[in-house]
Copies of this chain bind each other. A is one copy, B any other.
Amino acid sequence: MKIFWLSGSEVRKVLEIGEVIKAVEEAFRQHGLKKVQMPPKIYLSFSNGDLRAMPAYMESLGIAGVKIVNSHPENPKRGLPTVMAVVILNDPATGAPIAIMDGSYLTDMRTGAAGAVAVKHLARKDSKVVGMIGTGRQARTQLLAINEVLEIEEVKVASRSSEGIEKFVKDVSIECEITPKTIEEACKCDVLVTTTPVREPIVKSEWILEGTHINAIGADAPGKEELEPALLKRAKIVVDDLAQASHSGEINVPLAKGVIKISDIYCELGEIVAGKKTERTNKEEITIFDSTGLAIQDIAAAHLVYKKAKEKKLGKMIELF
């Protein structure tokens, strides 16, 4: 039996952010309709990182699969990416593995896409100014994706280093003004995106104007938080997955400390996409999307890659057994 193999450079050739957003939005809708299987991620822990297996089955697509992904923050010092991923897709009818592909770029893109889906459903329709705190890989794909759902006029960027900002401005290719700012200045915006790995909040509640939507992307492990808990108390909080976000998302620390309760969480994003819960209801409310990254996003994006690569005759069949 042969299996379809796709390298990272081939994945890049077929992944278009607009299509990823559509696939990820549909994945959230299926999640909201409870038509997916997504057991909790399982972790292996090492002295300087971890490895996660993320399985999901999407009935609507007739596809199942597993992403295997690491997180090793010290890797860049060794010339390796922090995050490297492989995705395996399986046919639910026979269980047969049908495709294996690099999942690293796909991970960035599906995370950006989730941010865009949240902005589409939660940000004010007249949002024009985006604030970015953090300028790493996640920041780039967030902006790339949000640019698909908003008419952005200005991007305010805050980073630890001016070098980080310069590189960000050079790398992102969107047609609008991008200006370096302090964190406080960047917070004065319509849509704020935080992508930092901090364990002490860096966004103060008093800096956030009424009507702001926030994509809180950085917190992806117990102990991490970017937003002052007082801000969460002012906001409508939407999570990607309640179990996963409670464990490792922006809400994990305030929940553990008892600053907020599970009943303070408004809903999961999929419930809004599926029409079970309402979107933003007025111009004043602050909305927060707590993104941890779901296996359904990976499998939906990988399925899209698989279909498009077949169409474009990219990738190769290699002998499995």
Which of A's residues lie within 8 Å of B, judged by CB? 1, 5, 7-9, 37, 39-40, 42-51, 53, 55-57, 64, 66, 68, 70-72, 75, 78, 80, 84, 86, 88, 90, 92-97, 100, 102, 104-105, 318-321
Of A1, A44, A55, A95, most B-chain CB atoms within 10 Å: A95
Residues of B within 8 A of A49 (CB): 92, 94-95
In the bound assembly, the distance between CA atoms of A84 and B112 in angstroms comes to 34
Specify which chain B residues have a CB less than 8 angstroms from the CB of A104 in the assembled complex.
321
* Cross-chain contact of A96 among B39, B56, B84, B319 (Cβ < 8 A): B84
Shortest distance between the CB of A160 and any CB in chain B (Å) = 24
Q: Do B318 and A92 have beta carbons less than 8 Å apart?
A: no
* Distance between A67 CB and nearest chain B CB, rounded to angstroms: 10
**Closest partner residue, chain B, to A54 (CB atom):** B53
8 closest Cβ pairs, A-B complex: A70-B95, A8-B321, A46-B92, A7-B319, A44-B57, A72-B95, A53-B53, A102-B321
Given A7-B319, A75-B95, A95-B51; A90-B68 close (CB under 8 Å) = yes
User: In the complex, what residues of B have CB within 8 A of residue A40's CB?
Assistant: 42
Contact B90 A88 (CB under 8 A): no
A49 to B64, CA, bound (A): 12
| Contact present for A68 and B66 (CB under 8 Å) | yes
Q: How far is the CA of A310 from the CA of B46 in the complex (A)?
A: 25
- In the complex, which residues of chain B have a beta carbon less than 8 angstroms from the beta carbon of A72? 93-95
Q: A102-B320, A318-B318 are in contact. List 8 more A-B contacts (CB 8 A).
A: A1-B84, A9-B321, A39-B44, A42-B42, A42-B55, A44-B57, A86-B88, A100-B100
Question: When A44-B37, A53-B42 are in contact, do A66 and B64 touch as well, CB less than 8 Å?
Answer: no
Pair A320/B53 contact, Cβ less than 8 Å: no
Copy total for this chain: 2
CB of A46 within 8 A of CB of B64, answer: yes
Cβ 8 A contact of A7, one of B48, B97, B321:
B321
Given A55-B51, A95-B49, residue A9 in contact with residue B319 (CB < 8 A): yes
Measured in the bound complex, the distance between the Cα atoms of B46 and A70 in whole Å is 27
Q: Name which residue of chain B comes closest to A84, CB basis.
A: B96
Question: What residues of B have a CB within 8 angstroms of the CB of A94 in the complex?
Answer: 49, 70, 72, 75, 78, 80
Q: Cβ of A43: which chain B residues have Cβ within 8 Å of it?
A: 39
Minimum CB–CB distance from A95 to chain B (whole Å) comes to 2
- 27 contacting pairs across A/B (C-beta < 8 A): A1-B80, A7-B318, A7-B319, A9-B319, A39-B43, A42-B42, A44-B92, A45-B57, A47-B92, A49-B92, A49-B94, A49-B95, A50-B95, A51-B92, A51-B95, A53-B66, A68-B88, A70-B96, A72-B95, A75-B95, A80-B96, A84-B95, A84-B321, A86-B88, A86-B100, A100-B100, A102-B320
Closest to A10 in B: B319
Residue of B nearest to A44 (CB): B57
Q: Name the CB-closest residue of B to A45.
A: B37
